[in-house]
Amino acid sequence: MSSHFLHDFLSPKSIAIYGANNTFGTTMGTMLLIRIINSNFKGKIFPIHLKLDTVLGYKAYKTIAEVPEVPDLVIIVLPPKVVPQVFKECGEKGVKKIVLISGGFRELIEDRSNTLTDEIIDISNSYGMRFTGPNCLGVYNSWIYPEDNGRLNTMMWREQSKRSKFSMASQSGTLASQLWLDAEYPDFSVGKVISVGNEANIDLVDFLEYFKDDEETDVIGLYIEEIKRGKQFLQLAKEVTLKKPIVAIYGGGSQAGNRAIKSHTGSIAGNIKIFDAMIKETGIIKIDYIEEFLDICSMLLTPNFPYPKGKRIGIITFAGGPGALIANNAERKGLIVPEFSESLQSKLKSMLPHTASWSNPIDITFDMNIFNLYINFPKILMKSGEIDIIIIYGAMGFQSMISLEQKNNRVSKHIELREDMRDRIDDMDKLVITPTIKNSQKYSVPVIYINPQSYANPWSKKIREHGGIVFQFWDRPVNCLAKICDYAEYRRNIKLKK
Amino acid sequence: MSSHFLHDFLSPKSIAIYGANNTFGTTMGTMLLIRIINSNFKGKIFPIHLKLDTVLGYKAYKTIAEVPEVPDLVIIVLPPKVVPQVFKECGEKGVKKIVLISGGFRELIEDRSNTLTDEIIDISNSYGMRFTGPNCLGVYNSWIYPEDNGRLNTMMWREQSKRSKFSMASQSGTLASQLWLDAEYPDFSVGKVISVGNEANIDLVDFLEYFKDDEETDVIGLYIEEIKRGKQFLQLAKEVTLKKPIVAIYGGGSQAGNRAIKSHTGSIAGNIKIFDAMIKETGIIKIDYIEEFLDICSMLLTPNFPYPKGKRIGIITFAGGPGALIANNAERKGLIVPEFSESLQSKLKSMLPHTASWSNPIDITFDMNIFNLYINFPKILMKSGEIDIIIIYGAMGFQSMISLEQKNNRVSKHIELREDMRDRIDDMDKLVITPTIKNSQKYSVPVIYINPQSYANPWSKKIREHGGIVFQFWDRPVNCLAKICDYAEYRRNIKLKK
């Protein structure tokens, strides 16, 4: 994607920055430059400062004209009124790409005459420059050096240890940067994030275009307050969703939401119904809740995620209550929990204790046969063709169950541990998870594990490392699956039409 | 509450147990006894076993008749067919309270003739015995020794370090016991939990009666699949909800949910609409999602939780996107996000940078004045009388922000830290949280803090220790508040009528 004009925004080799100094906690510009340095950006850095000789250890320049080369990217964190002059100086220097962090352009002009914005648009056009913002937070790119873990980071507060093929464009910079502050949840780190701000020059359509063919992007996230080029956006989204899922969360719609947006980006936000109708035909997965946004992206990022072929869900549980609640929520969300055929039921019945249940949900009760829970029952259900999705309640860590035994001396000296359990405990994940993940991909049936021990429990992490999907509780994954089923259906229908 | 017949179930001084042996991982009975021992139960334990001389270090008895005293409580984990005989022997011994763990009584009888259940009911009546179950997991009582941290635990897999005044009765034992496996979420430990099983003898009405006047119970949780004595339940619930909130989650309703329930407790579950209509008049807070159940209980357990006086929510945020999304969801859930009066707006405007917003949401943008965010703006809103609830987005830990500075040598040697920040950092929680919590109680306006760093972040924990309410993201607390507002309104209306 190095030919796309956005390439230099995400992968510049040199950056000049206006607005950073040496005092922590006072200016945005300083915080931003600290992040760039800490992220192991390997390119050149040229701070521009009228008075200082050095900024955070880098030689500072009084003006961009003094910088010994033309930087690939210029970042501006200055009061709005000086920005037109700085834009001109950048243009004269030959700069082509600018990230305009500063806010206070459009938001303040109550009659929306936008003179300051118009001015910088004109300047940038006259010099052939492109810019993101105003009122944005810049970029995050964990793929800037594909071979190692250097980053370009202007916005993330927390270091991202991993990277994924999740790319996001957001009309709220803080939203995009503050969803990833927790090292445990969600269990994926973003790949590329762009804070698009007020979109005076570069907008969502540009970024969709870029992400569409980007090999480091598998799943696209959008936070939308306003769509500027509606027709182009819808057309492009339709093309993208055939190849890659777009997950979008919309900030507009309510009275107060629209009020917030007007002061935030200056946009005129619309009616939620119009928005919904507009994107319904695009295949975009539209989300109302922020955790659902993260959950669904996390699911879709699962390696070789198997899209469900229909909406029939098979439930395997060792507890009646969660089984009933999963079934309730599945039906509430438009999924189907079919009663199994007689032949399937009698097969399951023969493998279960007589207190169990086998009609769907399969409730194994206190049967300790984990090979049935983890491998055999999922496989039987997949092979039956009677379900499209499997949810397994009770994927708990063996280690922590066994460690009970060692905990209390009063008990442990009296206990014998079954040898077959002790021998297998360390390799349990390979024994019970891997075969089911393989089957899941073979039959294209997503399998969701629920481990109430916690989202970040070591056993849950192991399952995720093997390519499984694990949640702490059962409602959120079911909500996600319902939306993913709709998307899968949309894709099937489009393909049928062609 | 020692006079109530349920007292001995929760606070026995001696327990006899059928069905435990010395091999880990094979029988429920053994796991159950391990838990009792590990929980620091201080009473006597009498295992009953036909062959073993000792069980987990305790002298075992061949029959209950040989036990040297009449135990306060007998726990039975045996195959159903031997249970009637054991019941008789217990009756002969003079036992009055039994926890019948074993399943397989009612669930199996397809024509619902229930002969085995009828038999044990008859036996228990003839000896004046009461029993919970069959098909239950027993009890958990963290208040058995009010002065210290001994417990009675037959069901919880994870040790609960703290205890709260949350009591739960659940028709799913595993549900009740497996909601608390994560040490971090929810940030409260249960007080008392009773797994009621099939309710052949003791039912939800009994437990509500007990919890109603129990001083160690402030919030009551119920998992319901079926209500046996409907009329009494509704009448009693109406009385209880005037004093203490009841939060209920219902497993029935859907086709598959009802199927699951039939095989789970053998109940005939009903239609969700009938259930909803039935409990609507009781003031019960009815919940569909398991995390919402935990969230709402957690909120209500906040010390001196201030019930909101209305549905108007004031939003304070340092990020536009979250502000808009909070507003959207609040309106979607029936809360009101009013535009502030002109006089309030001009007051706020005078304290904010010109790029900020002050109409509701208040978007402070990049203003670093945390005293406004944490103290001044909440107080101004409370005093204004224009809102009933406050939600603050961006309650992030200072320590981790400041520690950025120390992280990278390349940066830190060049940075000066503002002295006022460095001096205050350790006492920040007392400085900024305590005054607002006090105001929150004074004005009866709940304040919800959102810290995207994570639910279990040290700063979030500190806020909770001061009596604050903190979530990682913003949708779930808003959903909870909407339900709590309905409950508060219900209580106000009832009081008005009186």
* Per-residue model confidence as pLDDT tens digits over A8-63: 999 999 999 999 999 876 688 998 999 999 888 999 999 999 999 999 999 999 99
Average pLDDT rounded to a whole number, residues B264-268: 61
Which chain B positions have a beta carbon within 8 Å of A411's beta carbon? 34, 37-38, 56-57
Residues A214-233 have pLDDT tens digits of 999 999 999 998 888 889 99
What is the C-alpha separation between B77 and B63, in angstroms, rounded? 14
> Could you tell me the pTM of the whole model?
0.94
Average pLDDT rounded to a whole number, residues A281-293: 95
Which chain B positions have a beta carbon within 8 Å of A184's beta carbon? 454
Question: How far are the Cα atoms of A387, A394, B258, B272, B337 from residue A314, in angstroms, in the given order?
Answer: 6, 14, 15, 22, 41
In a domain, A223, yes or no: yes
Question: Whole domain around residue A229: which residue ranges?
Answer: 7-300
Least confident range of B211-225, B348-362, B415-429: B415-429
* Model confidence at B284: pLDDT above 60: yes
Q: Which residue of A has its CA nearest to B333?
A: A254
Could you tell me which residue, B402 or A96, shows the higher pLDDT? Answer: A96
Single out the residue in A248, A272, A300 at which a domain terminates.
A300
Q: Which residue of B has its CA nearest to A260?
A: B324
- In this prediction, residue A133 has a pLDDT band, given cuts at 50, 70 and 90, of very high
* Model confidence at B31: pLDDT above 80: yes
- In this prediction, residue B477 has a pLDDT band, given cuts at 50, 70 and 90, of very high
- In this prediction, residue A272 has a pLDDT band, given cuts at 50, 70 and 90, of confident
What is the C-alpha separation between A245 and A283, in angstroms, rounded? 8
Pairwise CB contact (< 8 Å): A26 & B368: yes
CA of B65 to nearest chain A CA: how many angstroms apart? 25
Which chain A positions have a beta carbon within 8 Å of B256's beta carbon? 315, 327-328, 330-331, 337, 339, 360-361
In a domain, B305, yes or no: no
Average pLDDT rounded to a whole number, residues A425-429: 75
Q: Residue B179: which of A171, A331, A452 has the nearest Cβ?
A: A452
3-state SS string for chain A: CCCCCCHHHHCCCEEEEECCCCEECCCHHHHHHHHHHHCCCCCEEEEECCCCCEECCEECECCHHHCCCCCCEEEECCCHHHHHHHHHHHHHHCCCEEEECCCCCCCCCCCCCCHHHHHHHHHHHHHCCEEECCCCCCEEECCCCCCCCCCEECCCCCCCCCCCCEEEEECCHHHHHHCCCCCCCCCCCCCEEEECCCCCCCCHHHHHHHHHHCCCCCEEEEEECCCCCHHHHHHHHHHHHHHCCEEEEECCCCHHHHHHHHHHCCCCCCCHHHHHHHHHCCCCEEECCHHHHHHHHHHHCCCCCCCCCCCEEEEEECCHHHHHHHHHHHHHCCCECCCCCHHHHHHHHCCCCCCCEECCCEECCCCCCHHHHHHHHHHHHHHHCCCCEEEEECCCCHHHHHHHHHHCHHHHCCCEECHHHHHHHHHHHHHHCHHHHHHHHHHCCCEEEECCCCCCCHHHHHHHHCCCEEECCCHHHHHHHHHHHHHHHHHHHHHHHC
Pairwise CB contact (< 8 Å): A339 & B256: yes
CA of B76 to nearest chain A CA: how many angstroms apart? 15
Least confident range of A98-112, A142-156, A183-197: A98-112
Which chain B positions have a beta carbon within 8 Å of A339's beta carbon? 256, 259
Which chain B positions have a beta carbon within 8 Å of A181's beta carbon? 396, 452-454
Percent of chain B with pLDDT over 70: 90
- In this prediction, residue A255 has a pLDDT band, given cuts at 50, 70 and 90, of confident
Single out the residue in B300, B322, B344 at which a domain terminates.
B300
Residues B242 and B346 in one domain: no
CA of B336 to nearest chain A CA: how many angstroms apart? 9
In a domain, B1, yes or no: no
> Which residue matches tokens 């919904």?
A276
Pairwise CB contact (< 8 Å): B324 & A251: yes
In a domain, A216, yes or no: yes
Residues B61 and B15 in one domain: yes
* Model confidence at B210: pLDDT above 90: yes
Beta bridge partners of A14: A44
The pLDDT score that the predictor gives to residue A246 is 98
Which chain A positions have a beta carbon within 8 Å of B457's beta carbon? 182
CA of A494 to nearest chain B CA: how many angstroms apart? 31
Pairwise CB contact (< 8 Å): B320 & A264: yes
Which chain B positions have a beta carbon within 8 Å of A264's beta carbon? 320-321, 323-324, 357, 363
- In this prediction, residue B365 has a pLDDT band, given cuts at 50, 70 and 90, of confident
- In this prediction, residue B408 has a pLDDT band, given cuts at 50, 70 and 90, of low
CATH at B378: 3.40.50.261
Residues B348 and B461 in one domain: yes
In a domain, B402, yes or no: yes
- In this prediction, residue A262 has a pLDDT band, given cuts at 50, 70 and 90, of confident
Q: Which residue of A has its CA nearest to B334?
A: A254
CB pairs under 8 A between A and B: 341
Residues B263 and B320 in one domain: no
Could you tell me which residue, A210 or A357, shows the higher pLDDT? Answer: A210
Which chain B positions have a beta carbon within 8 Å of A260's beta carbon? 315, 320, 323-324, 327, 357, 361, 363
Residues A293 and A323 in one domain: no
Residues B72 and B212 in one domain: yes
What is the C-alpha separation between A475 and A460, in angstroms, rounded? 17
Residues B143-159 have pLDDT tens digits of 999 988 789 999 987 77
Percent of chain A with pLDDT over 90: 70
Residues B267 and B371 in one domain: no
Residues B293 and B366 in one domain: no
Residues B322 and B267 in one domain: no
CA of B264 to nearest chain A CA: how many angstroms apart? 5
* Model confidence at B110: pLDDT above 70: no
What is the C-alpha separation between B294 and B467, in angstroms, rounded? 17
Which chain A positions have a beta carbon within 8 Å of B185's beta carbon? 454, 472
Pairwise CB contact (< 8 Å): A260 & B474: no
Single out the residue in A246, A276, A300 at which a domain terminates.
A300
In a domain, A121, yes or no: yes
In a domain, A278, yes or no: yes
Average pLDDT rounded to a whole number, residues A364-368: 76
Which chain A positions have a beta carbon within 8 Å of B324's beta carbon? 172, 225, 251-252, 257-258, 260-261, 264, 269
What is the C-alpha separation between A347 and A343, in angstroms, rounded? 6
In a domain, A306, yes or no: no
Please give the full DSSP string across B31-100, using - where no structure is assigned: HHHHHHHHTT--SEEEEE-SS-SEETTEEPBSSGGGSSS--SEEEE-S-GGGHHHHHHHHHHHT--EEEE
Q: What strands, in cross-sheet order, belong to the sheet with B357-358? A: B357-358, B362-363, B313-317, B389-393, B447-450, B469-471
Q: Which residue of A has its CA nearest to B224?
A: A321
Token pair for residue B14? 């001696």
- Structural domain total, chain A: 2
Percent of chain B with pLDDT over 90: 70
- Sign of the alpha-carbon torsion through A415, A418, A419, A425: negative
- In this prediction, residue A392 has a pLDDT band, given cuts at 50, 70 and 90, of very high
- Taking all residues of chain B, what is their mean pLDDT, rounded to a whole number? 90
The pLDDT score that the predictor gives to residue A264 is 63
Average pLDDT rounded to a whole number, residues B327-334: 95
CA of A196 to nearest chain B CA: how many angstroms apart? 12
Please give the full DSSP string across B183-233, using - where no structure is assigned: SSSSS---SEEEE-TT-SSS-HHHHHHHHHH-TT-SEEEEEES--SSHHHH
Question: How far are the Cα atoms of A410, B204, B464 from residue A405, in angstroms, in the given order?
Answer: 10, 34, 33
Least confident range of A298-307, B20-29, B354-363: B20-29
The pLDDT score that the predictor gives to residue B267 is 61
- Taking all residues of chain A, what is their mean pLDDT, rounded to a whole number? 90
Cis bond before residue B134 (omega within 30° of 0): yes
The pLDDT score that the predictor gives to residue B422 is 60
CA of A102 to nearest chain B CA: how many angstroms apart? 10
CA of B55 to nearest chain A CA: how many angstroms apart? 8
Average pLDDT rounded to a whole number, residues A465-471: 95
Residues A287 and A415 in one domain: no
Beta bridge partners of A132: A99
- In this prediction, residue B407 has a pLDDT band, given cuts at 50, 70 and 90, of low
Residues A357 and A288 in one domain: no
Average pLDDT rounded to a whole number, residues B280-295: 95
Residues A132 and A273 in one domain: yes
Average pLDDT rounded to a whole number, residues B266-276: 69
